[in-house]
Structure 1
Amino acid sequence: MSEHEIPRVPMSTEEIEAANLGAPTRLDGQVTLHEYDPRWPAAFAREAALIEERLARLDHRIEHVGSTSVPGLPAKPVIDVLLIVPDSGDEPSYAPALEALGYRLAVREPEWYEHRVLRRHGIGPGADYVNLHVLSAGCPENDRMLSFRDRLRRHDGDRELYAATKRALAERSWEYLQNYADAKSEVIGGIIERAAAEEA
């Protein structure tokens, strides 16, 4: 880990509640995973086109991330999108334009790379909603997310390991969806390390 990286550690209930602008997503049960749906890339493409149009005057980059971006992976039917902007902490530079599309700011984490999540429901067939993760250009988390995605796309063994981990954890009961996400951190970290070693 470089000196500029901020490790993502499991969040306490208080931290989860503080980061969410509304009520955090409670599960109080198991996670329902769907088999890979070939409609997911199309759902991403539709959202990316809308965001691209709204943010045409802002320097930005849009990437499909998360499990729906990896063919063959089971996932929740939620499209995770990474939006890279000059300054994710500068909400007025992007949030009003996205709110016009129906996005709503859901998560604000100033201590963790000024990470923001905006969410939009009703996005069409194949997916329930979009989680739009906003981070600043140059943030090391951008590279981690993309390296993880690309490793899973090209490496059968790590993709199968991650799929098995997701299925096993989904069978357990969780208070918050964030708790389920945090439980995958060790396996995700190992996959990212192997990707970095391969690229070195």
Structure 2
Amino acid sequence: MRKIEVIDYDVNWPKDYLKEEKRLKLFLKKELIQSFHIGSTSVPGLKAKPIIDILLVVQDLSELDAYSDEFEKLGYEVLGECGIENRRFFQKGGEKRTHHIHAFQYDNINEIERHILYRNYLRTHPEDCARYASIKNLMAEKYPHDIEKYCAGKNELVKEIERLSLKWHWLTIK
């Protein structure tokens, strides 16, 4: 059974992201529009599960399915939508996960922006970043082998930060 571990920020996480992004770009040339480092490992100083989350923005989500073999050659498990409509999800590392890929078609603005705004908000709001780190630590200690309860325990704060990030975004646009 996989143990949920929340560890101190690792300065190598951005480099790990760039290394994986380079590998993905080699075979996704025509399909890939943009990629982003998202999730807790993309926020300097934030404690996180040591899993690099990657957001891929692609031309055509159904065309991405043709690249399943290439993803598998890089060690990814191809999981389809995996609970989020109009997404393709890939995970690498088995029980000792190292990477997650969340792929969305370019016109799925809500999902793409939700991830990027959340990341950007936490990067610029240390007090909410600290609150998020605290609840992640607490949930990992309380539910070290139950990812559903770990996520459910963070859910209220995650939704609050999502709302705050949207408001912040609209207040800062000029």
Task: Give SS of 2:65's match.
Answer: helix
- Show the 5 A alignment for 1:81-96: 81-96=54-69
> Could you tell me which residue of structure 2 aligns to residue 197 of structure 1?
167
1:129 to 2:98 alignment: yes
> Could you tell me which residue of structure 2 aligns to residue 186 of structure 1?
156
> Could you tell me which residue of structure 2 aligns to residue 98 of structure 1?
71
Unaligned 5+ segments in structure 2 are: none
More helix by share: 2
Distance across 2 between alignment mates of 1:76 and 1:191: 18
**Could you tell which deviates more after superposition, 79-88 or 170-179?**
170-179
1:141 to 2:111 alignment: yes
> Could you tell me which residue of structure 1 aligns to residue 131 of structure 2?
161
Identity of matched residues, %:
29
Per-residue deviation, residues 119-163 of structure 1 (Å, max 9, x unmatched): 2239xxxx9511111222222111101100000001111111111
Distance across 1 between alignment mates of 2:153 and 2:62: 27
Per-residue deviation, residues 157-185 of structure 1 (Å, max 9, x unmatched): 11111111111111112653243223322
> Could you tell me which residue of structure 2 aligns to residue 16 of structure 1?
none
Task: Give SS of 2:25's match.
Answer: helix
1:120 maps to which of 74, 80, 92: 92
- Alignment TM-score, normalising by the size of structure 1: 0.74
> Could you tell me which residue of structure 2 aligns to residue 4 of structure 1?
none
- Alignment TM-score, normalising by the size of structure 2: 0.84
Letter in 2 for 1:74: K
Instruction: Check 1:120–1:53 CA distance in 2 against 1; reply closer, same or farther (3 A cut).
Output: same
What's the offset of the Cα at 1:91?
Answer: 4.2
Per-residue deviation, residues 18-71 of structure 1 (Å, max 9, x unmatched): xxxxxxxx54xx632110010111100100011011111214311111111001
Contact 1:67 1:73 in 2 (8 A): yes
1:171 to 2:141 alignment: yes
Instruction: Check 1:191–1:99 CA distance in 2 against 1; reply closer, same or farther (3 A cut).
Output: same
Instruction: Check 1:97–1:113 CA distance in 2 against 1; reply closer, same or farther (3 A cut).
Output: same
Distance across 2 between alignment mates of 1:78 and 1:162: 16
Unaligned 5+ segments in structure 1 are: 1-25
2:47 maps to which of 74, 79, 87: 74
User: How many correspondences in the alignment?
Assistant: 168
RMSD, aligned CA: 2.3
Task: Give SS of 2:89's match.
Answer: strand
Q: Which structure has more RCO (C-alpha within 8 Å, separation ≥ 6)? A: 1
Contact 2:80 2:90 in 1 (8 A): no
Distance across 2 between alignment mates of 1:184 and 1:90: 34
